[in-house]
Amino acid sequence: MQNPNELPPQGGQYIPPPPMYQGGADIPPQSPYHYSPAPRSNGATAGWLTGLGAAIIAFLKYGGLLLLKIPALGTVVSVLISFAGYAWIRGPWFAAALIAMIFVHEMGHVLEIRRQGMQATAPIFIPFLGAAIFQRSHPTSAVKQAQIGIAGPIAGTIGATAAYFLYLSTGWDVLLLAAALGFFLNLLNLIPVFP
């Protein structure tokens, strides 16, 4: 309390802070309930997992419809998921090189399908398996089917060769990795088995 004989502090004078609060009179300091207990973590984890599960189900139910209506969105989302998977395993440069070479290869198939007058989707990436395209109609002869089949390795070989020559001119190792991956993918794709 302030002494009645003292004058109140004037501007520029130091005013000491009030004393620390020592707790209310209704809860004594020695009580086990003086401090609030830590929240339980098992309920929070279960709630978090439930929320994540609900989000995934909602995405598959409603997002799948959106992916079907916007074809490029399906490619973008599948690229991002594949990139995350490959980057987690081997790093982001490996992921970028591999996805670029798979994309060039698959676009070879797409361009040939469209050149023949049929419709095809943009590539949909499948993590750790590659990519797929979907046709609404099928070729009318074995020759046209073979042309579609060989168009992917041709485009992929052109892309891998371009990456190799860019590596020779720049010395950037990522381009050499892309070229090696591209040549390897096309070699695997030319194995004479059912696609």
Q: Residue 71 has what pLDDT?
A: 61
Alpha helices in the chain (DSSP H): 42-58, 64-69, 71-90, 92-115, 142-170, 173-189
pLDDT for 37: 55
What tokens were used for 134?
């979907």
DSSP 103-152: HHHHHHHHHHHHHTT--BPPPEEETTTEEE--BSS--SSHHHHHHHHHHH
Q: What is the pLDDT of residue 134?
A: 86
pLDDT tens per residue across span 166-187: 999 999 999 999 999 999 998 8
Domain spans of the chain, in order of start: 71-189
pLDDT tens digit sequence for 107-165:
999 999 999 999 888 888 988 888 988 888 888 888 998 899 899 999 999 999 999 99
For position 100, what pLDDT does the model report? 94
| Model pTM score | 0.62
Percent of residues, the chain, with pLDDT higher than 90: 37
Map tokens 């088995």 to a residue.
193
pLDDT on residue 18? 64
Residue-wise pLDDT for 35-66, tens only, equals: 555 555 555 566 666 777 777 777 666 655 55
134 vs 32 pLDDT, higher one = 134
List Cβ neighbours of 143 (8 Å cut-off, separation of 6 or more).
none
